[in-house]
């Protein structure tokens, strides 16, 4: 996606520290985050639309 960790977290409403921990294998995303990450992977624009405020 060519986003920084902070940019990715901000775009999708995630905690940047959690994203870092997932990337570095210190912890796994919980079930809800895992589902969100799966949707982001295949349909990031749909997530953007769903999160539009």
pLDDT, tens digit, 9 for 90 and up, residues 30-53: 999 999 999 999 999 999 999 996
Is the model's pLDDT at 11 over the cut of 80? yes
Please count the structural domains in the chain. Answer: 1
In sequence order, which ranges of 1-53 are alpha helices (DSSP H)? 5-12, 16-23, 31-42, 44-51
Q: Are 40 and 47 in contact (CB under 8 A)?
A: yes
Residue 1 is predicted with a pLDDT of 86
Tell me what the mean pLDDT of segment 7-31 comes to: 97
Number of Cβ within 10 Å of residue 12's Cβ equals: 20
Question: 20: domain range?
Answer: 5-51
Is the pLDDT reported for residue 26 higher than 80?
Answer: yes
Residue 7 pLDDT greater than 80, yes or no = yes
| Angstrom distances, CA of residue 14 to CA of 5, 21 | 10, 12
């Amino acid at each position: 996606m060519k986003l920084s960790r902070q940019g990715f977290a901000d775009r999708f409403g995630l905690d940047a520290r959690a994203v870092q921990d997932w990337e570095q294998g210190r912890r796994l995303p919980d079930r809800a985050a895992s589902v969100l990450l799966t949707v982001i992977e295949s349909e990031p624009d749909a997530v953007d639309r769903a999160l539009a405020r």
